[in-house]
Amino acid sequence: MKANSIPQYFYFRRMSSIYNFLSVSDRLSCSGQPHATELSAIAVEGYDVVINLGLADGKYALKDEEALVKHLGMIYYHIPVLFNDPKIDDFTSFTGVMNQCKGEKTLVHCAANYRASAFTGLYLLYLNELDERDTISFIEQVWQPDAIWEQFIEECIQFLKHRQ
Protein backbone atom coordinates (compact mmCIF):
# COMPACT_ATOMS: atom_id res chain seq x y z
CA MET A 1 0.00 0.00 0.00
CA LYS A 2 1.26 3.49 -0.81
CA ALA A 3 1.82 6.01 1.97
CA ASN A 4 -0.70 8.40 0.44
CA SER A 5 -3.51 5.97 1.28
CA ILE A 6 -2.83 6.33 5.02
CA PRO A 7 -5.35 8.72 6.60
CA GLN A 8 -4.04 12.27 6.80
CA TYR A 9 -3.95 11.98 10.59
CA PHE A 10 -0.98 9.67 10.16
CA TYR A 11 1.21 11.78 7.91
CA PHE A 12 4.48 12.32 9.66
CA ARG A 13 6.63 15.28 10.47
CA ARG A 14 10.28 14.50 10.96
CA MET A 15 12.13 16.11 13.86
CA SER A 16 15.38 16.98 12.14
CA SER A 17 18.01 15.58 14.46
CA ILE A 18 16.48 12.42 15.96
CA TYR A 19 17.08 9.35 13.83
CA ASN A 20 13.91 8.19 12.02
CA PHE A 21 11.69 10.44 14.15
CA LEU A 22 8.00 10.18 13.23
CA SER A 23 5.32 12.31 14.82
CA VAL A 24 2.13 10.27 14.71
CA SER A 25 -0.07 12.82 16.48
CA ASP A 26 0.29 15.67 18.94
CA ARG A 27 0.53 13.04 21.71
CA LEU A 28 2.54 10.20 20.16
CA SER A 29 5.85 9.85 18.32
CA CYS A 30 8.33 7.09 17.65
CA SER A 31 12.01 7.22 16.76
CA GLY A 32 15.45 5.75 16.83
CA GLN A 33 17.71 6.30 19.85
CA PRO A 34 17.81 9.97 20.84
CA HIS A 35 21.09 11.47 22.07
CA ALA A 36 21.18 13.23 25.46
CA THR A 37 20.73 16.68 23.90
CA GLU A 38 17.81 15.36 21.84
CA LEU A 39 16.16 14.04 25.02
CA SER A 40 16.44 17.57 26.40
CA ALA A 41 14.67 18.86 23.28
CA ILE A 42 11.99 16.21 23.72
CA ALA A 43 11.38 17.44 27.27
CA VAL A 44 11.19 21.05 26.04
CA GLU A 45 8.62 19.92 23.44
CA GLY A 46 6.39 18.80 26.31
CA TYR A 47 6.81 15.04 26.22
CA ASP A 48 5.76 13.35 29.47
CA VAL A 49 6.81 9.75 28.82
CA VAL A 50 9.72 7.97 27.10
CA ILE A 51 9.37 4.26 26.34
CA ASN A 52 12.59 2.50 25.31
CA LEU A 53 12.20 -0.81 23.46
CA GLY A 54 15.94 -1.17 22.84
CA LEU A 55 18.44 -3.04 24.94
CA ALA A 56 20.23 -1.18 27.74
CA ASP A 57 23.57 -2.59 26.61
CA GLY A 58 22.93 -2.28 22.89
CA LYS A 59 25.35 -0.64 20.47
CA TYR A 60 23.26 2.55 20.29
CA ALA A 61 22.04 2.62 23.90
CA LEU A 62 22.38 5.84 25.83
CA LYS A 63 24.30 5.36 29.08
CA ASP A 64 21.93 5.75 32.04
CA GLU A 65 19.05 6.93 29.88
CA GLU A 66 16.57 6.35 32.69
CA ALA A 67 18.33 8.78 35.04
CA LEU A 68 18.60 11.41 32.31
CA VAL A 69 14.92 11.11 31.35
CA LYS A 70 13.85 11.35 34.99
CA HIS A 71 16.19 14.32 35.56
CA LEU A 72 14.43 16.06 32.65
CA GLY A 73 11.08 15.56 34.41
CA MET A 74 9.73 12.77 32.22
CA ILE A 75 8.62 9.24 33.09
CA TYR A 76 10.74 6.40 31.73
CA TYR A 77 9.75 2.85 30.85
CA HIS A 78 12.11 0.22 29.53
CA ILE A 79 10.70 -2.82 27.75
CA PRO A 80 13.76 -4.53 26.26
CA VAL A 81 12.76 -6.33 23.07
CA LEU A 82 15.28 -8.71 21.52
CA PHE A 83 15.43 -7.71 17.86
CA ASN A 84 15.89 -11.29 16.69
CA ASP A 85 13.23 -12.69 19.04
CA PRO A 86 10.28 -10.34 19.65
CA LYS A 87 7.50 -11.88 21.74
CA ILE A 88 3.77 -11.35 22.15
CA ASP A 89 4.51 -10.80 25.85
CA ASP A 90 6.69 -7.82 24.85
CA PHE A 91 3.76 -6.37 22.94
CA THR A 92 1.27 -6.98 25.77
CA SER A 93 3.68 -5.29 28.19
CA PHE A 94 3.89 -2.39 25.77
CA THR A 95 0.11 -2.06 25.41
CA GLY A 96 -0.18 -2.11 29.20
CA VAL A 97 2.28 0.77 29.55
CA MET A 98 0.66 2.68 26.69
CA ASN A 99 -2.77 2.28 28.26
CA GLN A 100 -1.37 3.44 31.59
CA CYS A 101 0.07 6.54 29.89
CA LYS A 102 -3.03 7.37 27.83
CA GLY A 103 -3.34 11.11 27.44
CA GLU A 104 0.37 11.71 28.11
CA LYS A 105 2.64 12.96 25.34
CA THR A 106 4.76 9.87 24.63
CA LEU A 107 7.90 9.03 22.67
CA VAL A 108 8.46 5.35 21.86
CA HIS A 109 11.99 4.57 20.71
CA CYS A 110 14.53 1.84 20.07
CA ALA A 111 17.86 1.90 18.25
CA ALA A 112 16.58 2.73 14.74
CA ASN A 113 12.77 2.99 15.08
CA TYR A 114 12.28 -0.54 13.75
CA ARG A 115 10.91 -2.09 16.96
CA ALA A 116 9.30 1.21 17.93
CA SER A 117 7.46 1.71 14.63
CA ALA A 118 6.25 -1.91 14.65
CA PHE A 119 4.96 -1.68 18.22
CA THR A 120 3.45 1.77 17.65
CA GLY A 121 1.70 0.64 14.46
CA LEU A 122 0.37 -2.46 16.19
CA TYR A 123 -0.81 -0.34 19.12
CA LEU A 124 -2.72 1.91 16.69
CA LEU A 125 -4.32 -1.27 15.30
CA TYR A 126 -5.16 -2.30 18.88
CA LEU A 127 -6.90 1.08 19.32
CA ASN A 128 -8.71 0.58 15.97
CA GLU A 129 -7.06 3.75 14.64
CA LEU A 130 -5.49 1.75 11.79
CA ASP A 131 -6.67 -1.30 9.92
CA GLU A 132 -4.31 -4.20 9.15
CA ARG A 133 -3.25 -2.86 5.77
CA ASP A 134 -2.53 0.61 7.10
CA THR A 135 -0.63 -0.90 10.04
CA ILE A 136 1.76 -2.57 7.60
CA SER A 137 2.07 0.69 5.61
CA PHE A 138 2.76 2.58 8.82
CA ILE A 139 5.64 0.24 9.69
CA GLU A 140 6.99 0.25 6.14
CA GLN A 141 7.33 4.04 6.27
CA VAL A 142 10.44 3.33 8.35
CA TRP A 143 11.69 -0.12 7.31
CA GLN A 144 10.98 -3.38 5.55
CA PRO A 145 10.54 -6.04 8.26
CA ASP A 146 12.49 -9.26 7.81
CA ALA A 147 10.95 -12.74 8.14
CA ILE A 148 11.20 -12.72 11.96
CA TRP A 149 9.38 -9.41 12.21
CA GLU A 150 6.83 -10.28 9.52
CA GLN A 151 5.93 -13.36 11.56
CA PHE A 152 5.82 -11.37 14.80
CA ILE A 153 3.60 -8.68 13.25
CA GLU A 154 1.23 -11.35 11.88
CA GLU A 155 1.12 -13.08 15.29
CA CYS A 156 0.24 -9.78 16.94
CA ILE A 157 -2.47 -9.09 14.36
CA GLN A 158 -3.98 -12.54 15.00
CA PHE A 159 -3.67 -12.00 18.76
CA LEU A 160 -5.51 -8.69 18.47
CA LYS A 161 -8.26 -10.25 16.34
CA HIS A 162 -8.92 -12.91 18.95
CA ARG A 163 -9.07 -10.51 21.90
CA GLN A 164 -12.18 -8.80 20.52
Query: Is residue 10 predicted with pLDDT exceeding 50?
Result: no
Q: Of the given ranges (16-20, 37-41, 54-58), which has the lowest mean pLDDT?
A: 16-20
pLDDT confidence of residue 15? 60
Average pLDDT over residues 118-146: 97
Average pLDDT over residues 95-107: 97
pLDDT confidence of residue 66? 97
**Domain 13-163 is of which CATH architecture?**
Alpha-Beta Complex (3.90)
Query: Is residue 153 predicted with pLDDT exceeding 70?
Result: yes
Q: What is the pTM of this model?
A: 0.90
CA distances (Å), origin 117, targets 32, 37, 71: 9, 22, 26
Query: Is residue 19 predicted with pLDDT exceeding 80?
Result: yes
What are the DSSP calls for 16-52, one per residue? Answer: SSSTT-EE-SSSEEEEBPPPHHHHHHHHHTT--EEEE
3-state class of 155 per DSSP?
helix
Average pLDDT over residues 151-163: 96
